[in-house]
Amino acid sequence: MAVILRLEGLTKRFGGLTAVDAVKLSVAENSVHAIIGPNGSGKTTLFNLISGAVEATQGRIVFDGQPIERQPAHARARLGIKRTFQNIRLFNDLSVLENVRVGQHPVAITGFSSLYRIWSAQERAQREAAMEILASFGLESLATRQAGELAYGPKRLVEIARAVASAPRLLLLDEPTSGMNPRESAEVVAAVRKIAARQMTILIIEHHLPVVKDLAERVTVLNFGKKVAEDTPAGVLSDPAVVEAYLGSSAEA
């Protein structure tokens, strides 16, 4: 299977703190790959490094054969890397539909030229595509609602819809089920499964281990910023080092 993302010796230091320590990782194309680890193990920082929210101190990030560690976040989105955030960052004063349309930016015509394309056929097609994406998540009735007013579960779904709106090659989901009750969790998992069935590579940070077992084909375990294990879900969850890392600190199972 082709490797779509490769991290080599990826390191991030914040002053005296090493959040990510020489991480080496290969993600297979069109697979679902989970990153797990106790709180503070560097998972979100790893995502921030991949998406470009934060600049690496050292190491390489190779996406589709191209090194991207020097590229700013918006350029990486245009290359096909999209993400959701741990604490859901929607554009709260915009409508649900507008949020998804922003998600289409990497594949839309923007800037000055967008001024005279408002009523073009392409724009109309993209609006319809945005509605279709909402519909595929069961959210079409919420299209005109203000994003900030939604309940937690639908908010997360909108955020995921926004991320997939540009048909990205790599989708980073940062704890998509965090803070959710079982019903909401199940909805999110179902949505992710549907996305995984299309041609998309998903990298997911998850604390709920059943979700990991359910969705992921491969799991990487981080602790203190270092990779400590990598295997199939079953293999990783029976690895004594992993069990120790989790039971040695607080985590949900």
Partner 1 sequence: MFSVFADSVLIGIGINMLLALGLYFTLATGQFSVGHGGFMAIGAYAASILTVNFAWPLVPAVLCGGVAAFAIGVLIGLPVLRFSHLYLAMATFGFGEIVRAAFSVVDYVGGVGGMRGMMGTTAPIVLGLVLAAVAFSWLHSRSRWGLACDAIRQDEDAAAAMGIDVRLNKVLAFGVGAAITGVGGGLYAHHFYFIEPTTFGLHMSVAIILFVIFGGIETFWGAMLGAAVLSLLPDLFRFLKDWYLFMYGLLFVLLMIFRPQGMLDRAALRALRKKLWR
45 binds partner 1 per the rule CB under 8 A: no
Q: Tell me if 129 contacts partner 1 by CB under 8 A.
A: no
Confirm or reject binding of residue 37 to partner 1 (CB under 8 A).
no
155 lines the binding site for partner 1 (CB under 8 A): no
Let me know: does 105 contact 75? Beta carbons within 8 Å.
no
Output the smallest distance, CB 200 to partner 1, in A. Answer: 17
Minimum distance of partner 1 from residue 111's CB (angstroms): 6
| Residue 121 binding partner 1, by CB under 8 A | no
Work out which of 22, 91, 136, 167 binds partner 1, going by CB under 8 A. 91
Q: Is 117 in the site for partner 1 (CB under 8 A)?
A: yes
Residue type, 125: A
- Check binding of 6 to partner 1 (CB under 8 A): no
Q: Give Cα 18 distance to the centre of its chain.
A: 22
Question: In the set 5, 90, 171, 219, which binds partner 1 (CB under 8 A)?
Answer: 90
Q: Interface with partner 1 includes 103 (CB under 8 A)?
A: yes
Tell me the closest approach of the beta carbon of residue 152 to partner 1, in angstroms: 17
Among 16, 66, 115, 151, binds partner 1 (CB under 8 A): 115
Exactly one of 39, 92, 141, 238 binds partner 1 (CB under 8 A); that residue is: 92
Site string (188-227) toward partner 1, x via CB under 8 A: ----------------------------------------
Q: Which bin fits 133, alpha (ψ -120 to 50), beta or left (φ > 0)?
A: alpha
Which residue among 63, 85, 137, 246 contacts partner 1 (CB under 8 A)? 85
Convert the chain into a string of H (helix), E (strand) and C (coil). Answer: CCEEEEEEEEEEEECCEEEEEEEEEEEECCCEEEEECCCCCCHHHHHHHHHCCCCCCEEEEEECCEECCCCCHHHHHHHCEEECCCCCCCCCCCEHHHHHHHHCHHHCCCCHHHHHCCCCHHHHHHHHHHHHHHHHCCCHHHCCCEHHHCCHHHHHHHHHHHHHCCCCCEEEEECCCCCCCHHHHHHHHHHHHHHHHCCCEEEEECCCHHHHHHHCCEEEEEECCEEEEEECHHHHHCCHHHHHHHHHCCCCC
Minimum separation from the CB atom of position 78 to partner 1 (A): 5
Interacting residues with partner 1 (CB under 8 A): 51-53, 72-74, 77-78, 82-83, 85, 89-94, 98, 101-103, 105-106, 108-112, 114-118, 123, 162, 166
